[in-house]
């Protein structure tokens, strides 16, 4: 079985579960459990666990009802990174504060190659964990290519598909976390649907051309 960083696995011979956070020599895999300790284990002694990415206390089998007279929220799709560096494990979430249901695809970028990491629907005002990594390897965390489609049965402004590249730099983790009311915890938060800033490159170009000294 082929594993990848971030997979949630269970030990075959012991009651231990955790996320893969490193690949070591001689077919040894580093698995970090909830305590933040990375445990080396042979690849043939773990098995992949499916359907684990929601927080255990957030599972809800009911259907969410969108109330038509509530304000429609257009923006607020985030990546949130939770965890404490002293505990070892960082958990990556997609957080959807909007009124849209969204379909998210995340790939890990490796040069011209792409490796699928996550693909799932996230309901309005909901979140899901899509990756985990060890803080000690923050400099080697992946560069993600993220694509998002937005959908709602309520009237809304036309939207195009979102496509972003996202990578956390170690220096990003120096800044303070902010509280997220959906996750009910503090995270490093990055807005994916933030409008691109228009810095007026055309005007800047025209300015420099018009003020350039005449050549003799």
- Do 105 and 174 lie in one domain? The reply is yes
- Give the model confidence (pLDDT) of 9-48 as tens digits: 889 888 888 888 888 887 899 888 877 788 999 988 898 8
Same domain, yes or no, for 150 and 105? yes
CATH number of the domain residue 40 falls in: 2.30.30
- Is the distance from CB of 187 to CB of 175 less than 8 angstroms? no
More confidently predicted of 89 and 1: 89
- Prediction pTM value: 0.68
How many DSSP H helices and E strands does the chain contain?
1, 14
Range of the domain at 14: 8-48
What's the token pair of residue 11?
């030990």
b/e code 141-154 from CB counts within 10 Å (16+ = b): bbebbbebebebee
Q: Determine the pLDDT at residue 85.
A: 85
The answer to the question of residue 129 being in a domain is yes
Q: Domain with 86 in it: what CATH number? A: 2.60.40.1600
Q: Comparing C-alpha atoms, which of 14, 9, 41 is closest to residue 28?
A: 41
In terms of domains, do 43 and 80 share one?
Answer: no
pLDDT, tens digit, 9 for 90 and up, residues 154-185: 889 999 999 999 999 989 999 999 999 999 99
Per-residue pLDDT averaged across 80-108, rounded?
Answer: 93
Do 184 and 151 fall into the same domain? yes
> Does pLDDT of 79 surpass 90?
yes
Count of domains for the chain = 2
Burial of 161 (0-12, 13-18, 19+ CB in 10 A): exposed
Residue 216 has what pLDDT?
Answer: 52
At residue 209, the pLDDT reads: 62
Contacts of 170 (CB under 8 A, 6+ apart): 138, 139
Same-domain pairing of 94 and 133:
yes
pLDDT at 102: 97
Structural domain contains residue 124: yes
Output the six-digit token pair for 106.
């995340």
Q: What is the pLDDT of residue 52?
A: 46
Q: What percent of the chain has pLDDT over 90?
A: 50
């Amino acid at each position: 079985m082929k594993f990848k960083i971030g997979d949630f696995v269970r030990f075959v011979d012991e009651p231990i579960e955790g996320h893969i956070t490193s690949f070591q020599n001689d077919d040894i895999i580093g698995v970090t459990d909830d305590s933040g300790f990375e445990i080396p284990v042979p690849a043939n002694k773990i098995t992949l666990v499916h359907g684990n990415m929601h927080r255990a206390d957030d599972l809800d089998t009911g259907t969410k009802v969108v109330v038509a007279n509530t304000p429609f929220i257009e923006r607020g799709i985030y990546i949130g990174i939770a965890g404490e560096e002293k505990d070892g494990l960082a958990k990556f979430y997609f957080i959807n504060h909007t009124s849209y249901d969204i379909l998210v695809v995340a790939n890990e970028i490796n040069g011209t190659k792409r490796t699928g990491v996550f693909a799932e629907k996230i309901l309005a005002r909901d979140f899901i964990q899509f990756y985990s990594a060890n803080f000690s390897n923050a400099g080697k965390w992946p560069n993600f290519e993220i694509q998002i489609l937005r959908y709602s049965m309520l009237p809304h402004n036309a939207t195009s598909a979102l496509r972003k590249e996202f990578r956390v730099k170690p220096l990003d983790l120096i800044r303070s976390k902010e509280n997220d009311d959906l996750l009910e915890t503090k995270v490093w938060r990055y807005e994916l649907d933030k409008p691109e800033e228009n810095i007026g490159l055309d005007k800047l170009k025209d300015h420099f051309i018009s003020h350039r000294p005449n050549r003799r």
